[in-house]
Structure formats: C-alpha cells, structure tokens
C-alpha cells in the first residue's frame, strides 16, 4: 500500500463533557477517493477540520507528508477581506499555479469574478469557495458538504470535475448519488471511532447493516454468558463452599463490557400528522403564466395533480421552482391562466429558506406554538419532550433558542413542526439540505407511507428516484414539462438531465458577409441602490412581521379574551390581518428582487 499523504491516528476530542472522538483514524494516500460518513453530530466535520489542521485534538497524532498540498472546503466559507470573488479565488493560488484556472472555474460555476463577496448568497459563496479549493489542483481535497445550496447542473459538473482530478479526496455529503459515483473507500465514524472498508459508498450501507446486526448478536451472546456465570455464582456446588477467583474476575470483566458498550445512535421516528382525506383532484392548473418584468418564469404550463401523487420539481437555481410551487398551492396568483384547488385540502409546508423559524424562540415554543408542553399528533396529545426525542433532540435542548442550533438541527426542527400539522398535502422545498443519510432514509419511508399528496423541490437525484411518481422539469425560457417516474426516468425520456440556465449569444455573421446592423443594444437592467437596500432589509422586516403575527396569534388564542376585553380582541384581529397582508406584499417584492438579482448575476 502506498505511503499516506495524510494520516490521523488515535484522535481523541472532548466537546464540553462529552467525548466526541475516541481513537479515530484516517489515512489518505495519493489519488484515493474516500467517503467520510456518520450520523449528524458524530464528528465528521470535526475530524475533517483536524485533518485540515484548523483545530487541535486532545490526543492522537497527525502526520502530513512534507511538500504535499491540501485544500479544505468548510460548510460555511469565509470570504471576508477580498474585494471580488476572483481576488478571493486567486488568494488560494501559489507561485506555480495557473491563474487562468481561477477565472475558468468561476465561469463554470456561474460567477463572473467581479462579484462583491459581502453581497453573495449562500449558494454563490459556496461556488466561489469551491473554485478556490479546486483551482490549485492540490494533492488532497477535503470537502465538507460541497453540494449544499448547489443546483443539479452545477452538482453534475462538479462530479465530472472531481473525477478528472488526480487529487486525493475526502468527501462528506448527504447526496448518495454523488458519494456513490465518486468514492472508492468509505470511513464510517460511529460512537467516536472509525471503521473503514476499501469499497465506495455504494457498498457501505449493506456492510454497515451487517456490522450492526453482528454487533447485536454479540451483545445477546454476552448477556447469555453473564446470565450463565451469575447462575454459577449463586447455585454452583463449588461456589457454595469457595467461589472460584478466576471465574469471578471473568464475570466482572463481562459486566464491564456491558457497561462500556455504547449502542448505535438513536434514529428519527418522523411521525407525520395526517388530516382528513382530500378530494381525488388536488391541483388543476391550465395555461398558467407568470413573468417578472420581461422575464417569463412560467409560460403556459398545465398539469393535474391527483390525490396520492408524489411530484418532484427540478431545475437550475433561478428557474422559478419556488414560484411554480406557490402558484400550484394558491399562494401566488398567475398573471394568466387558472389554478383550481381540490376540496378539503390541508397543506403542511417546509420552506426552503427556513425563514419561518424565529431565531429567538426556544425549541419547545417553536414546536408547540408557545404556552404549552404538549402538541397534538393524529388527534392524540403528545408531550413536547417525547416528540423532540423522536427527532434526536435531548430534553436539555428544549429551552435552546433556534438561532444557536446547527443547520442540520434547524432542518430537523422545521421538519418536526411541518409534520406535526394535520395535512393531506405536503409541500417540501429542498427538504434534504443538511440532513444525514439515516434521517433521509426515514424521510423517504415517511413519504412512502403518507396517505396524502407530496410536492417536492429537490436537487438530490437519489431522493427523487426513490419518492417521485412524476418530475416537472424546467426546460428554459419559462417552459416546463412533466415526465412520468423519478429523476432517472426523466433523463431517459428527455435525453438529458437538468440544464443550466441559458445565456443567449448573438449569432455570428456568415463568412464573407457583413453582419446586419444590430439594433441599439437594450440597456441591461441593474439593481438600484434602493433595490439593493431592499434585498438586505426585507428579510429582517419579514422576520419582524412573523414575530408580531406570532405574538398577536398568542393573544387571540386566549379563549376568554373576547368576553374580558372585546376592544383588545378586535384590535388584535385587525392588526393580524394587516400584518398578514403586509407580509404577503413584502414576500412578493423580495421574490421579484431576488429573481432580478439572479438574472443579472447569471
């Protein structure tokens, strides 16, 4: 076996009073492609940071081959201190590196290089950070969730780019297809330790299940052996006269093994509260059309969604997927055409931006709505602590404010709250972001068992293949088409996957002929100072309105308020209606500006 470029041995790390890593190992040889997997909170990102040298472990050794180069992509890259994205990417190059590659990668990732890093969205920052780590073509790439916030065209481009590099790769990702296509070895972090198989992620899950099954059998054997030894201690003829010291030591050792054993981490139960059955027809859209300025987002699209359907919506960022969902669910009126909603619909919505989470609210209040320790699931009261445990939260986190939770934890909170609402239609906008693979499994099973209808936007190809019965795909220029089956079925029928948004270029004049006089170029739209200011301030205004609406709703939830103070009741009702209308107006304005910004920058 080739000498490693990077090796971690017996790494130990304690977070607070909890041991996170207890003897973890990682070895990376030249050209290796390794999947680093484990539950959320198992220490994957921490081990990658130790490998990158950004944090020091409490114990163990880190070996790094002298002269080798390494680049690390964190989940939240820091672009501060650079005037443009090109300057940021070039800042990661060294003397012998090719400066042209920085501009090339930025263009491939949909950036120009002139963007101000301070004004980038999360997805744009991730693209710039990817360009920075890929540009030098280092000996080792350490990538933590590189596909987060990326759309399908960029994910597929990145997959091809990483395959073409000679760099060794250690990859953390929740995207099964991405992991399976790229990796040839798998390192599993489980209960503070690492276990490795020299096979890619595609073989890992079956191997993991066999390992856990054998571990469970070994624990049963151990329990039976202890029972037999305890029986001897109590009833053995020899034991009545004089207990055998060796056998007593053996029993003590067996009992210690049981005390030291840490079972696999808990799993999400993910119960969904189902409402009454909807009508057979859920949504019928006929020739719906929506444009923002001169840009057509949805042009004359028709579809019919029946009860029990699982509809996936895919397309590049900025294609208008969220706009299409808002029209199909009646939240946004089309400019023309009609949307007819079925009868007895009860919607539960998972928002892509998770903007509906108040960062200052506690986990308990977010799940219960405040003022209570219980919530109702399928008509039965359930204590919030028990419900929290089903989504892998500890009782101690009940009073933790949402703003202090990790991205994965916030996503689980949003899922827990959405699934607690009685529904017969689930609308899931990017539900897989920041979820670990086991939680994704449970989400897929929940969708399969759900009796209602599901509309889901996702860039996760494997997830779509497992849950979707049809795929609505953006064809470009506002055109949308629907294909039967999952993502892979759509690719077969369409002949291609999701394409990046097209940028029209002027046709070249025929050779020997002069080009016809071009019309005066249309001045490109720009974001005014007022527009830029609105993009920065609208999210805060919307969050303030949501907090106000929550307060007003809490006031109105008081059953005796009307009898005690009719004036206060009427004012709260009126203020809530005004806030709801203002929030709807602000959301429409923000969406229009955000799509204009994407159009200009794209």
Note the pLDDT of residue 41.
75
pTM (2 d.p.): 0.68
Residues in the chain, pLDDT under 70: 1-2, 17, 222, 225-226, 228-276, 351-356, 406-408, 434, 500-530, 598-602
pLDDT digits (tens, 9 = 90+) for 294-338: 889 999 999 999 999 999 999 888 788 989 998 999 988 999 999
Note the pLDDT of residue 284.
94
According to DSSP, the β-strands at 33-37 and 281-292 are unpaired
Note the pLDDT of residue 270.
57
The helix/strand/coil state of 349 is: strand
Query: Torsions phi, psi of 185, nearest 5?
Result: -140, 155
Cα 182 to Cα 35: distance, rounded to the nearest angstrom = 8
Q: How many CA atoms lie within 13 A of 398 on its CB side?
A: 15
Cα 469 to Cα 454: distance, rounded to the nearest angstrom = 10
pLDDT digits (tens, 9 = 90+) for 180-215: 999 999 999 988 899 999 999 999 988 988 888 887
Cα 464 to Cα 486: distance, rounded to the nearest angstrom = 6
Note the pLDDT of residue 600.
67
Note the pLDDT of residue 20.
87
- DSSP letter (8 states) at residue 423: B
Note the pLDDT of residue 517.
41
Residue recorded with tokens 């029928």: 493
Cα 426 to Cα 3: distance, rounded to the nearest angstrom = 51
Expressed in angstroms, the distance from the first to the final Cα of the chain is: 46
């Amino acid at each position: 076996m080739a000498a490693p470029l990077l090796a971690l041995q017996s790494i130990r790390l304690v977070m607070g009073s909890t041991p996170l890593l207890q003897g973890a190992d990682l070895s990376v040889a030249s050209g290796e492609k390794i999947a680093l997997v484990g539950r959320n909170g198992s220490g994957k990102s921490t081990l990658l940071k130790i490998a990158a040298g950004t944090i020091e472990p409490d114990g163990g050794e880190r070996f790094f081959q002298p002269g080798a180069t390494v680049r690390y992509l964190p989940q939240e890259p820091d672009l501060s201190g650079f005037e443009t994205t090109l300057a940021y990417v070039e800042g990661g190059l060294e003397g012998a590196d090719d400066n042209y590659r920085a501009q090339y990668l930025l263009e491939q990732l949909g950036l120009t290089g002139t963007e101000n890093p301070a004004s980038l969205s999360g997805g744009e920052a991730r693209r710039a950070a990817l360009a920075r780590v890929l540009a030098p073509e280092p000996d080792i790439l350490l990538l933590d969730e590189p596909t987060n916030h990326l759309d399908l065209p960029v994910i597929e481009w990145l997959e091809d780019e990483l395959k073409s590099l000679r760099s060794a790769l250690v990859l953390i990702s929740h995207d099964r297809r991405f992991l399976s296509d790229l990796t040839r070895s798998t390192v599993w972090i489980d209960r503070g330790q690492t276990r490795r198989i020299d096979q890619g992620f595609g073989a890992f899950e079956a191997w993991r299940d066999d390992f856990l099954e054998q571990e469970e059998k070994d624990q049963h054997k151990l329990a039976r052996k202890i029972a037999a030894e305890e029986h001897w201690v109590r009833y053995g003829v020899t034991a009545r006269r004089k207990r055998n010291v060796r056998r007593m030591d053996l029993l003590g050792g067996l009992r210690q093994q049981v005390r030291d054993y840490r079972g696999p981490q808990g799993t999400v139960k993910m119960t969904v509260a189902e409402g009454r059955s909807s009508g057979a027809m859920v949504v019928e859209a006929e020739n719906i059309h929506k444009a923002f300025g001169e840009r057509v987002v949805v042009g004359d699209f028709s579809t019919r969604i029946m009860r029990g359907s699982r509809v996936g919506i895919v397309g590049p960022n900025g294609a208008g997927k969220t706009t299409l969902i808002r029209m199909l669910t009646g939240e946004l009126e089309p400019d023309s055409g009609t949307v007819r909603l079925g009868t007895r619909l009860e919607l539960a919505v998972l928002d892509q931006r998770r903007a509906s989470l108040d960062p200052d609210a506690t986990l308990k209040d977010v799940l219960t709505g405040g003022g209570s320790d219980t919530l109702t699931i399928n008509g039965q009261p359930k204590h919030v602590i028990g419900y929290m445990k089903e989504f892998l939260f500890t009782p101690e986190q009940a009073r933790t404010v949402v703003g202090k939770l990790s991205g994965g934890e916030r996503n689980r909170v949003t899922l827990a709250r959405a699934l607690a609402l009685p529904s017969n239609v689930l609308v899931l906008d990017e539900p897989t972001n920041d979820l670990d693979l086991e939680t994704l499994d449970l989400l897929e099973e929940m969708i399969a068992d759900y009796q209602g209808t599901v509309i889901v936007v996702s860039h996760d190809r494997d997830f779509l293949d497992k849950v979707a019965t049809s795929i609505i795909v953006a064809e470009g220029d506002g055109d949308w088409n629907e294909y039967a089956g999952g993502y892979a079925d759509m690719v077969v029928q369409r002949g291609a996957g999701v394409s990046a948004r097209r940028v029209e270029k002027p046709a070249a004049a025929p050779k020997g002929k002069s080009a016809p006089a071009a019309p005066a170029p249309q001045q490109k739209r720009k974001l005014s100072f007022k527009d830029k200011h609105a993009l920065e301030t609208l999210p805060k205004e919307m969050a303030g309105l949501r907090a106000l609406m929550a307060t007003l709703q809490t006031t109105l939830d008081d059953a005796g308020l009307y009898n005690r103070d009719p004036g206060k009741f009427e004012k709260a009702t009126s203020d809530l209606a005004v806030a709801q209308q203002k929030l709807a107006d602000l959301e429409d304005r923000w969406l229009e500006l955000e799509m204009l910004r994407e159009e200009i920058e794209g």
